[in-house]
Amino acid sequence: MAATRVLTAAAATTQPTSCFLSKRAFLLPAKTSCLSFNRRALVLKSKQPFSCSAIYNPQTKVQEEGPSETLDYRVFFLDGSSGKKVSPWHDIPLTLGDGVFNFIVEIPKESKAKMEVATDEDYTPIKQDTKKGKLRYYPYNINWNYGLLPQTWEDPSQANPEVEGAFGDNDPVDVVEIGEAQRKIGEVLKIKPLAALAMIDEGELDWKIVAISLDDPKAHLVNDVDDVEKHFPGTLTAIRDWFRDYKIPDGKPANRFGLGDKPANKDYALKIIHETNESWAKLVKRSVDAGDLSLF
């Protein structure tokens, strides 16, 4: 029987969230709120306008279906008021204003089941990744909370000239949250970005945004990459090395990192978030080919 638990997601600020209608260009002015709207009215083969009712205060229920660590296991997100399914990727807003963003936990720290949003399934639930029909696990525990930024997308048709011309990996942007608490699958946290790592995985660009939850005891101490080195010494190197080496036990080559193998600062991380939010906007507008990706 599916278990259901309620998680309190990041509360909205009084600042309005940008919301564009289908007849307007999906352009984000610099340093403004990123796109946040609900496209549940979107039907892939229709030409009807988008619904423009963002979940500004996403009180959500997380509904687990199927036994954990099985091929059938899914974690669905439900709107707290209506009980209807929503997409954690598309329907939870990216930004809350004032440099605060929503982060959705896929993999709790000190665990190794490789959980991810199923970008090709309706409502994009969280599931355990598979390879050749078998569940995937990291060879050892990940030491940080790991997940995604909603309403972002790394466009596989766009080459990044700053990172060896690598193309996007066709997924939302990943977040490595360095706070002390182990979080739960499906938890929605308010975070502030601190740095960015440009991982290149089998030729694809796979950004890692290093961030901290605002409720962490050390959150007030860190605001940029240098603060991470000061208050979390060795953490950025440990993150880079973990993601560089985790495929080696399976006989694969190590991943590589662009930008001189070093973490970029907060401003650069915000630039990446802004650009990938713009790419996501084009995706849900269907200005680019979605392929097998689910847009609802």
Task: List pLDDT tens digits, range 262-281.
Answer: 999 999 999 999 999 999 99
In whole angstroms, give the CA distance from residue 102 to residue 191.
Answer: 6
Known active-site residue 246: no
In a domain, 174, yes or no: yes
Residue 114 resides in a domain? yes
Contact 224, 194 (CB under 8 A): yes
Sign of CA dihedral 74, 101, 30, 257: negative
The answer as to whether 46 is a domain residue is no
Which of 73, 123, 137, 138 is labelled catalytic?
138
What phi, psi does 194 have (nearest 5°)? -125, -30
Give the three-class secondary structure for 19: coil
pLDDT at 105: 98
| CA–centroid distance for 119 within its chain | 11
Residue 50 lies in a domain: no
Backbone angles phi and psi of 248, in degrees to 5: -60, -40
Considering the domain boundaries, does residue 162 fall inside one?
A: yes
| Position 229 in a domain | yes
Cα–Cα nearest to 37, from 293, 277, 291: 277
How far, in Å, CA of 121 to CA of 125, rounded?
Answer: 7
The domain total for the chain is 1
Segment (H or E) for 194 = strand 188-201
- Considering the domain boundaries, does residue 151 fall inside one? yes
- Amino acid found at 250: D
Report the candidate in 57, 219, 59, 60 with the shortest Cα–Cα distance to residue 126. Answer: 60
CATH number, domain of 111, equals 3.90.80.10
- 166 pLDDT above the threshold of 90: yes
> Which tens digit of pLDDT belongs to each residue from 225-247?
999 999 999 999 999 999 999 99
> Residue 197: which domain range?
59-283
Q: Is residue 14 part of a domain?
A: no
Instruction: Check residue 108 and report its DSSP letter.
Output: -
pLDDT band, very low/low/confident/very high, at 60 (cuts 50, 70, 90): confident
